[in-house]
Amino acid sequence: MKINFLNILISLTTITLIASSCQKGDLLSNPNVAAESATVPASLILNHITANLMREEEPIISAVYRYNQNIVSNYSYYFGGNSYNWSNTNHTYDMIRYCSKLEEQAQKQYGNTTNVYFALSKFFRAYAFIWLTQRVGDIPMTQAGNQNNLTPVYDSQHDVYKNCLALLDTANTLLGNLTTTATASTKVDPSGDIFGLTYLQWRKVINTYKLRVLIDLSKRADDNADLNIKSQFANIIANPASYPIMNSNSDNMVYRYTTVTLYPPNRSGYSPYNNCENISQTFFNVTAAYNDPRVFVLAIPAPAQLAAGKQVSDFTAYVGEDNGKSQGLMSNFSTDGKYSSLSYNRYMSSASGANAEPYILLGYPELCFNIAEAAYRGWIPGVIAADWYYKGINASMNLYGLSQGQTVTIGNVDGTKPNMGTATIDINGFLANPNVAFDITNGLTQILTQKYVAFFMNSGYESYYNWRRTGVPAFSQGGVGIGTPSNQIPLRWQYPQDEINFNNTNYTSSIGTQYGGKDDVTAKMWLIK
């Protein structure tokens, strides 16, 4: 690709510098442009990478959470449709380009390839390549970024994952060599790292992310010995000194909104139209149906249920909408107040999202469920799946500030009406629910279900990816609202259009190898076969 991928290392040295004056009489040199040999502060490049790690399509209450079946839109004018009408994916080529420049400038600045910026660049590379491969399949990796090769060949998805796991190991090792008792609690770079993580916390992020990647490879754990999926997972758990992982929600990698970087529901001015979106039936099927107290702080009861005499503390008053239904029917029923909406108080009432939980890109609750799943699958003998299952649930409750016996106020739909009432949090009763109390015969489904709940409005497409891999929980499909020719949820995206336009020979060859010659969104990639 001539624009986004093949020129991936095109110079960034045209970064504008602030200058107070220009040299008289010299019309050939521009004092406002850095020379090719100039050193651009690595912190400046790191700031760009960390600020853009969350892709524009992924923030809270975006279309992603309709695809994850957390919410549904009943009115397209404000919130778009619900259909999975996927075509060509976006990409992360920009992140890869900046990783190359980060390494180049860090080497100039520090005179070595073992500094903290080099370490973080390995993580960001792995993150970027995995982001893309899990959407499409095989991608260019080993030849990507070579300016002398404008048509890089595709690496198999197997090799992409193998190389990315190695990059994550390198990142952890480099950071480990830099982390001492004195530096462990030191923030990596306050001017460049928007996440504000310490050396130790970055190692925890890297290794926690690696556990996510290994769990994503569960379908390939028994037929790809060279990947050592199970043993790599077990090695991290068995060696916390060498592979530190998250210990609590305080280690979460979160994107914090402010009055400058506005909370997504407010930056478009849509917050008064909260009633144009409803909670998905899929979500309530595994929360309200199980007496999950998180429902009380995330959503409001269906107004029609309250009008019929139900109390706000009655879980049957929380009614979800079917993602597979036509949007026209949804709009009619929403006018009648038949379905629940998000809590305006939590998600819509502050321009900075001050009343909502921080947006998690990678978090401790997910880690707990990943360890529980690996233990259940027998990857880490001696580790009890139930223990980590309950840790994950409790960590999710903690994220919302919930405790046993607490009284919470049920919000309203649009900020113009009084709050609806109060409810008492009963975590113990929830944990005793037969659908929730850990049962070894149904343990994997329970782990995956609670992981899905913990992903509510965070972590991008992770709910979808986990459903695609496991089928848990049961997503609604088959209805006209899904919007595909077969009304089935797609399993992948088509390749970026630039790849099709400018690397067509290798693209065509790879599509032939993987998907029988058709860039088909319903085809299964190696990862999920």
pLDDT tens string, the chain, 529 residues long: the values are: 333 433 433 344 333 333 333 333 444 445 554 555 668 999 999 999 999 999 888 888 889 999 999 999 998 887 888 999 999 999 888 899 999 999 999 999 999 999 999 999 999 999 999 999 999 999 999 998 777 888 999 999 999 999 999 999 999 999 999 999 888 899 999 899 999 999 999 999 999 999 999 999 999 999 999 999 999 999 999 999 999 999 999 999 999 988 888 888 777 666 767 888 899 999 999 999 999 999 999 999 999 999 999 999 999 999 999 999 999 888 776 668 899 999 999 998 888 888 999 899 999 999 999 999 999 999 999 999 999 999 999 999 999 999 999 999 999 988 888 999 999 999 999 999 999 999 999 999 999 999 999 999 999 999 999 999 999 999 999 999 999 999 999 999 999 999 999 999 999 999 999 999 999 999 999 999 9
Measured CA to CA, the distance from residue 381 to residue 529 in angstroms comes to 26
pLDDT at 334: 61
Tell me how crowded residue 80 is: count the other CB atoms within 10 A of its CB.
Answer: 14
pTM of the predicted model over 0.85: yes
- List the beta bridge partners of residue 278: 72
pLDDT at 93: 85
Radius of gyration of the chain, Cα coordinates, nearest whole angstrom: 24
Q: Which two tokens stand for residue 380?
A: 């880490």
At residue 408, what are phi and psi to the nearest 5 degrees? -120, 150
Measured CA to CA, the distance from residue 214 to residue 503 in angstroms comes to 30
Backbone torsion region of residue 408, taken as left when φ is above 0, otherwise alpha when ψ lies between -120 and 50, otherwise beta: beta
- List the beta bridge partners of residue 88: 494
The H or E element containing residue 374 is helix 364-376
- List the beta bridge partners of residue 360: 254
The DSSP annotation for 298-317 comes to HB---HHHHHTT--TT-GGG
Are the CB atoms for 336 and 274 separated by under 8 Å? Answer: no
Measured CA to CA, the distance from residue 26 to residue 185 in angstroms comes to 49
DSSP β-ladder status, 277-279 and 421-424: unpaired
pLDDT at 266: 74
pLDDT at 272: 67
Nearest to 457 by CA among 363, 319, 330, 339: 363
Measured CA to CA, the distance from residue 147 to residue 154 in angstroms comes to 16
Q: Which two tokens stand for residue 511?
A: 């599509």
